[in-house]
Structure 1
Amino acid sequence: MTTSFEALLPGTERALLHRVAVAQAEGRAPSFVGAVVRDGALVWSGSRSCVDGHAPDADTQYRIGSITKVFTAVLVMRLRDEGLLDLDDPLERHLKDTGVGEVTIAQLLAHSGGLAAETPGQWWERSSAALRPELSDVLGESPSLQTPGRRFHYSNPGYTLLGSLVEAVRGVGWEEALRREILDPLGMDRTTLDPVAPRAGGFAVHPWADVMMAEPSEDLGLMAPAGQLWSTAADLARFAAFLAAGDDRVLSAASVAEMRAPASPAGEGDWEGSYGLGLQLLRRDGRTLVGHTGSLPGFVACLWVSVDDGLAGIALANATSGPAPAVVAADLVRIVAEAEPRFPEPWRPLPADEVDADLLALTGPWYWGTYAYGLRLGPERSLVMEPLRGPGRRASFRVLPEGGWVGLNGYYAGETLRAVRRPDGSVSHLDLGSFVFTREPYEPGDAVPGGVSEDGWRGL
């Protein structure tokens, strides 16, 4: 099945279907669905099945496990944007008597709150929610294992707390908030708490024999915000478009970008990936992927978005283990990105009202000591500074209403850039977080901290 205003090339589609076929065969999955989103639209989906003549499509439901956590995180970010809480608030300011101390909402979103990975007692994914009727049953007597904020440690109970936080602050159930605030606005009517046909059955495949067994499908109860949802490739394509660009009906582009930024210290050996505010981050094939993996007995899933490529890959399978959806979803993105690279936007001059003589006078070469930098004018009176030769710190700056610019990334994130003027109004130098940038390297008479040697430049 292919739906798009601009279909993929036949060779690309064959390569994608081949990747899904290999994943289903080598992963020994009863069925496997893959899909690709390009520039916000579902452009390809394909599947393979162990049943001849019958295969799932982009409208077939699979359980998506921990991809559910991203939806919970979006609900929390909406509360923040409405001013109902702050991410740095201790959870217990809004949800009393949890026993997690000063753990903040941001730390729970980023899995850096130091909470246990799983619930006490029976394996929650394969046991009745009736065993965990209260938060105390989810958290146990000692929910904290590590000092909050020190390192990434994945915590399923942490997202149960966030779901309960949504209910406490919003005043409605997590499911109602999810449907009303995310699923309905994005048109995700095939994403549900309980399965709705057509849907795949979940299976365990024997590790040493080609036989399989049906897996139970439990209602997760209080753990639902950590992994309850069922969805389809088509619905996840809509969600992928939202994660790439935001949607003001749900969450602004700026807030979604905040979710995509690293927010948790990496654990030992985890340097290829990180975690944002509810989103997994991965560096693979030279690109940054954001999204989430998911698994519950009988199912594995993954959604990866490459914002820079305008692409997303989706992989869904109905086997407890074997398929590698995180690898396959990344490969689907790579196949399209390499076969059909994104066209750049046409170059266009800046609007006339964004350019004036004073701004143009700031552009060009500047020197921090002997490091050479170029300052370039961007849209909406923004600035970009980048090294002209050798190593250096690249940074983008947004104009401030009160004057000057604020750094948006890298070393200078949050730092202020100012043009310091002489009494006659000409620019003496740039001040960037106390660093002085001059038009010439160590020019006598310039505002160089510590002064300039009277001997000037000389040879040996």
Structure 2
Amino acid sequence: MAFPPEELLPTTRRALLHRLAVGQAEGRTPSLVGAVVRGGRMVWTDGRSMIDDHRPDDDVQYRIGSLTKNFVAVLVMRLRDEGALELTDPLDKHLPGTSAGGLTIAQLLAHTSGLASETPGPWWERTPGALRPELADVLGEQPMRHPAGSRFHYSNPGYALLGALVERLRGEPWGDVLRREVLEPLGMTRTTLSPQAPHAGGFAVHPWADVMLPEPLEDTGVMAPAGQLWSTAADLCRWAVFLAGGDEKVLSADSVAEMRRPASEPSGPDWVASYGFGTQLRRQDGRVLFGHSGSMPGFVATLWVSEADDLAAVVLANATSGTASSVIAADLIGIVAEREPRLPEPWRPLAEVDPELLALTGPWYWGPSAHILRLQADRALELAPLGAAGRGSRFRALPDGTWTGLDGYYAGETLRVVRAADGTVSHLDLGSFVLTRAPYDPGAPIPGGVDPRGWHSS
């Protein structure tokens, strides 16, 4: 029997509201909405505003800016999973005629294409998209700023290209594709390209005085895939649940997990920010978060998910600057995680066990290095080193009787069981590494052979 997630404690809800209130006051924000997801559903939401006795709720639309990129990336991954494209394909294989045709789809998704961050002037976020009717208008005469694949360099025009790619392969506007293939299946009826009431108005707040200026609202045209969407806290909570576990109606859990793996090497062991495929990663207060932030004139937005804590948070505000939505959203996760830490799932025995797999468990040796092989659900295996040093990985079972590595050094590598002529297990082959039941087992085909004297003291 599945039990619904418990409601948050009153003291936790008060702490969440306090953090939201501090963010609205210190950020001098006309209005601000926050929400928290736990156990697959929204467990808290509240809002603050400059108007007495008024709190925007989780059904008020705000512009979400570059969070739009997260949605566009899902559309591209759907095309990949259908076999319509490969992420290693050059763009011009599917969208010929642009000056960026040699860039790969993966590079565009991960902002490693080397394209410029912005379009040629004027500033695309605050001017009509009619000023840039063609892709050539958003790329300009010299669109490259770095050699392709050499480094992370955020590019808004890169996502205009991805939106156009979706349109070319689907034969209809990317927004229509998004609504039919993603938003409707997930029940996100309040996520739209243009605002629908009730929605917030966007403002700029003067940096040195408590006065405001309304920001213009523009349709950004071909740049829309970089930041056009409007959404609500409730809808983005649904999106957070999807990002955490996938949904077979839209995108598998494996493909969603692929989106949040760093596509470019994080800068050092103490990294604080990285990027996957349309997904930002951030490390704060000892936890790894994934999701996306966004801004457009008059609005900022952030969605973070902490997989380890089974928590997500959304923050939406209607001010051009001043509101640290990314920090506030991370803090909302931290408040719940620290006050009401996640309970581990109860231990349960496996539903069924293959005796041959059970016989594989226990100690294995790569040369003199000791490892333990454990059996998991769905015929999965986990290899862990004994001791602080060593390489380990989780492995997913494949239909052909082998396993593929999911993480660490062995990610993508093949693990297979090698049997002797009499059918007994000889050794494990892991990407050419031979693992044996005894250190340097002389009966196994150890590369380079084993000294015939065996182990000795001198």
- 2:400: which partner in 1? 402
Shift of 1:321: 0.8
Match of 2:184, SS state, is: helix
**Aligned: 1:132 with 2:152:** no
Q: Deviations over 1:37-79 (max 9, x none)?
A: 1122111011111222112111111111000111111111222
Shift of 1:247: 1.5
**Aligned: 1:355 with 2:354:** yes
- 2:411: which partner in 1? 413
Unaligned runs of 5+ in 2: none
Kept in 1: contact 2:111–2:152 (CA 8 A): yes
Q: Which has the higher mean CA deviation after the structures are superposed, 157-166 or 283-292?
A: 283-292
Kept in 2: contact 1:49–1:55 (CA 8 A): yes
Give the 3 Å change call, closer, same or farther, for CA 421–270 of structure 1 in structure 2: closer
Q: Deviations over 1:360-401 (max 9, x none)?
A: 221111122222110001112111000122311120112232
**Amino acid aligned to 2:204:** A
**Amino acid aligned to 1:123:** W
Kept in 1: contact 2:281–2:289 (CA 8 A): yes
**Aligned: 1:107 with 2:111:** no
Q: Deviations over 1:171-224 (max 9, x none)?
A: 111221121111222121211222122221111111122222111111111111
Kept in 2: contact 1:360–1:377 (CA 8 A): yes
Give the 3 Å change call, closer, same or farther, for CA 410–131 of structure 1 in structure 2: same
- 1:36: which partner in 2? 36
Kept in 1: contact 2:157–2:223 (CA 8 A): yes
Counterpart Cα distance in 2 of 1:245 and 1:10:
28
Counterpart Cα distance in 1 of 2:179 and 2:289:
26
- 1:84: which partner in 2? 84
- 1:318: which partner in 2? 318
Alignment of 1:270-289 (within 5 A): 271-289=271-289
Match of 1:71, SS state, is: helix
Identity of aligned residues (%): 67
Kept in 2: contact 1:111–1:264 (CA 8 A): no
Kept in 2: contact 1:302–1:329 (CA 8 A): yes
**Amino acid aligned to 1:449:** P
Kept in 1: contact 2:402–2:414 (CA 8 A): yes
Give the 3 Å change call, closer, same or farther, for CA 205–402 of structure 1 in structure 2: same
- 1:248: which partner in 2? 248
Shift of 1:445: 4.6
Kept in 2: contact 1:298–1:320 (CA 8 A): yes
Counterpart Cα distance in 2 of 1:95 and 1:138:
15
- 2:142: which partner in 1? 142
Unaligned runs of 5+ in 1: none
Shift of 1:297: 0.9
Shift of 1:404: 2.6
**Aligned: 1:437 with 2:435:** yes
Alignment of 1:209-228 (within 5 A): 209-228=209-228
Kept in 2: contact 1:73–1:277 (CA 8 A): yes
Counterpart Cα distance in 1 of 2:124 and 2:227:
11
- 1:302: which partner in 2? 302
Counterpart Cα distance in 2 of 1:204 and 1:241:
32
Give the 3 Å change call, closer, same or farther, for CA 268–405 of structure 1 in structure 2: closer
Q: Which has the higher mean CA deviation after the structures are superposed, 188-197 or 225-234?
A: 188-197
**Amino acid aligned to 2:432:** S
Match of 2:337, SS state, is: helix
Kept in 2: contact 1:112–1:265 (CA 8 A): no
For normalisation by structure 2, the TM-score amounts to: 0.95
RMSD of the TM alignment (CA)? 1.9
Counterpart Cα distance in 2 of 1:432 and 1:82:
30
Matched length: 455
Counterpart Cα distance in 1 of 2:158 and 2:375:
44
Alignment of 1:311-350 (within 5 A): 311-350=311-350
Kept in 2: contact 1:436–1:448 (CA 8 A): yes
Alignment of 1:193-204 (within 5 A): 193-204=193-204
Alignment of 1:172-187 (within 5 A): 172-187=172-187
Counterpart Cα distance in 2 of 1:68 and 1:28:
25
Shift of 1:5: 5.9
**Amino acid aligned to 1:283:** R
**Amino acid aligned to 2:394:** S
- 1:206: which partner in 2? 206
Kept in 2: contact 1:152–1:266 (CA 8 A): no
**Amino acid aligned to 1:355:** D
Give the 3 Å change call, closer, same or farther, for CA 19–312 of structure 1 in structure 2: same
- 1:152: which partner in 2? 152
Counterpart Cα distance in 1 of 2:451 and 2:82:
56
Q: Which has the higher mean CA deviation after the structures are superposed, 331-340 or 221-230?
A: 331-340
Counterpart Cα distance in 1 of 2:269 and 2:63:
29
Shift of 1:33: 1.1
Kept in 1: contact 2:95–2:101 (CA 8 A): no
Equivalent of 1:393, from 391, 394, 410?
A: 391
